[in-house]
Structure 1
Amino acid sequence: MNFTLIIPARYGSTRFPGKPLAQIAGKPMIQHVYERASLAKGLSQIFVATDDQRIQSVVEDFGGKVVMTSSDAATGTDRINEAIKSLGLPDDEIIINLQGDQPLVDPISIEQLINLFERHPSEFEMATLAYQITNDSDIDDPMQVKVVFDNDHHALYFSRSRIPFGRDTNDYPVYKHIGMYAYNSRFIQEFAKLPYGKLEQLENLEQLRALEHGHKIKIAISAFNSQEVDTPDDVRKCEQRLSVD
């Protein structure tokens, strides 16, 4: 079983243009993501998938591999779909989709997804991570996506709102969704052809498309939170964490 990790990265961003190239402690963010991913055991290869030559140049300068995609890709998964076709990856290749805005990703989290597919190769088509929220302010923050799952750790729903909602108590665990996915190449190609879901469009969460069309998403509980960079202020937060580490 081969595992290829692909980091989709686009230059254009409404809230933070040029985000992959934002400097964090003296390195562009995309380099932090790439280098941390390279520490994970079990990966066959790592690529950055981008449509921007500025990102391509930076990645190649630090020794990373790049696959160029079109500027028409609507989502990160669409960009990954283009990348696997360009790379000629076989249908049974397991793809790890690591978002390019997670410069503090822990390599062990990547290994968790690899282990899920190695242990349960036919139980599910897609896997991702969750982290039990410890900061109360994150629970009602719409930028922190939440997830609920069944007794077998299959996702039931993802939302920007607090889920579940305790009618009579707030004393229960709430889980944040860590935006990292694993799936085989065949499933990505099928997923890209599915029509957008109603819930997906309401929440603006593409993983809901899989659930709306009846596909299972396996959840692994990670011990590590991942600081996403959505705004320039998040760069400062990452630098603070790096200074502590």
Structure 2
Amino acid sequence: MEKIKVAAIIQARRGSTRLPDKVFLELSNKPLLEHVVNRLKKSDLLQEIIIATTDLPDDNLIQTWANSNNISVFRGSENNVLERYYEAAKKYQIDVIVRITADDPFKDYRLVDEAVRVLIDNKLDFVCNNNPVSFPEGLDVEVLTFNALEVSYNNVISDFDKEHVTQYIHKNKDKFNIANIQNEKDLSFHRWTLDTIEDYQFAQKIYSELYKEGYVFLREEVLELLEKSPLILELNNKVNRSDLYR
């Protein structure tokens, strides 16, 4: 595995329409983006973490934050996120890319490592845990080879597929060697991502109960808290969910 460069690319921008500037919303006195990065730093297999933001002036602040925290950064197209990933992976010479979105403050580094191992050990092109879904929304993991990313980039046509990096692979399974990691229990009814103020209130509550400086709490601890305090689920259970999780 030493010869294979594995890196997470976090897509991040300030221009969210439903929850503006959400990457800098604070949870336990730290911006969301910092929590996402710190959770990934616990991974055994990630050799680099790269923030891929847009080339819009509004996102200069993301570059400034990344620079001040010694995180690699790449800037590219606002809407063609696939191109942004492709150019970032090329620049940093990444062989295996872990796709991360910056609005998921509960990412599980163990799932990241499991997906990377499955991909490398089985010489696959793409490994995910969301097709079909069985983990909470927000614990999605998608890992792909540079070759799979390049094939997608060279063949994609629709704007939707350019915006959603891995859609070309999901829609053309016959062209790739793919695996999906399934959870023992279907937890896909949980929503652990940030798109709305209700989601933010949910995350604030979880972090207020579980976050400790220097410690990354695990998904089991979140589930245990939600079993003890089921009312927390009501904070964001009426939010419109992505198509996968409906």
TM norm. shorter chain > 0.5: yes
Q: CA deviation at 1:81?
A: 1.0
Give the 3 Å change call, closer, same or farther, for CA 226–218 of structure 1 in structure 2: farther
2:39 maps to 1:74: no
SS, match of residue 67 in structure 1: strand
Give the 3 Å change call, closer, same or farther, for CA 72–240 of structure 1 in structure 2: closer
Q: CA deviation at 1:191?
A: 0.7
Q: How does 1:158-169 map onto structure 2 within 5 Å?
A: none
Cα displacement string for residues 196-217 of structure 1 (whole angstroms, at most 9, x for unaligned residues): 469x67xx96544223333343
Q: CA deviation at 1:74?
A: 2.1
Aligned partner of 1:180 among 141, 144, 159: 141
Cα displacement string for residues 165-196 of structure 1 (whole angstroms, at most 9, x for unaligned residues): xxxxxxxxx66664331111122122112234
Q: How does 1:139-178 map onto structure 2 within 5 Å?
A: 147-148=131-132, 178=139
Report the Cα distance in structure 2 between the residues aligned to 1:24 and 1:12, rounded to whole angstroms: 19
1:219 alignment partner in structure 2:
180
Q: CA deviation at 1:232?
A: 2.3
Report the Cα distance in structure 2 between the residues aligned to 1:175 and 1:110, rounded to whole angstroms: 13
Q: Which amino acid aligns with 2:150?
A: Q
Q: CA deviation at 1:101?
A: 0.9
1:4 alignment partner in structure 2:
7
TM-score relative to the length of structure 1: 0.69
Give the 3 Å change call, closer, same or farther, for CA 100–232 of structure 1 in structure 2: same
1:195 alignment partner in structure 2:
156
Report the Cα distance in structure 1 between the residues aligned to 2:180 and 2:191, rounded to whole angstroms: 16
Instruction: Answer yes or no: is the 8 Å Cα contact 1:99–1:179 preserved in 2.
Output: no
Q: How does 1:45-84 map onto structure 2 within 5 Å?
A: 45-51=48-54, 52-61=59-68, 63-75=69-81, 77-84=82-89
Gaps of 5+ in 2: 211-246
Gaps of 5+ in 1: 131-146, 149-157, 159-173
Report the Cα distance in structure 1 between the residues aligned to 2:16 and 2:126, rounded to whole angstroms: 27
Report the Cα distance in structure 2 between the residues aligned to 1:240 and 1:21, rounded to whole angstroms: 17
1:235 alignment partner in structure 2:
200
2:221 alignment partner in structure 1:
none
Cα displacement string for residues 5-57 of structure 1 (whole angstroms, at most 9, x for unaligned residues): 11111121221221211212211111000000000111111111112211111
Report the Cα distance in structure 1 between the residues aligned to 2:70 and 2:128, rounded to whole angstroms: 24
Structure possessing the higher relative contact order (Cα contacts under 8 Å, 6 or more residues apart): 1
SS, match of residue 61 in structure 2: helix
Report the Cα distance in structure 2 between the residues aligned to 1:55 and 1:82, rounded to whole angstroms: 18
Q: Which amino acid aligns with 1:107?
A: Y
Report the Cα distance in structure 2 between the residues aligned to 1:43 and 1:175, rounded to whole angstroms: 21
SS, match of residue 209 in structure 1: helix
Percentage identity across paired residues of the two chains: 19
Q: Which amino acid aligns with 1:233?
A: E
Q: Give the paired residue count.
A: 195
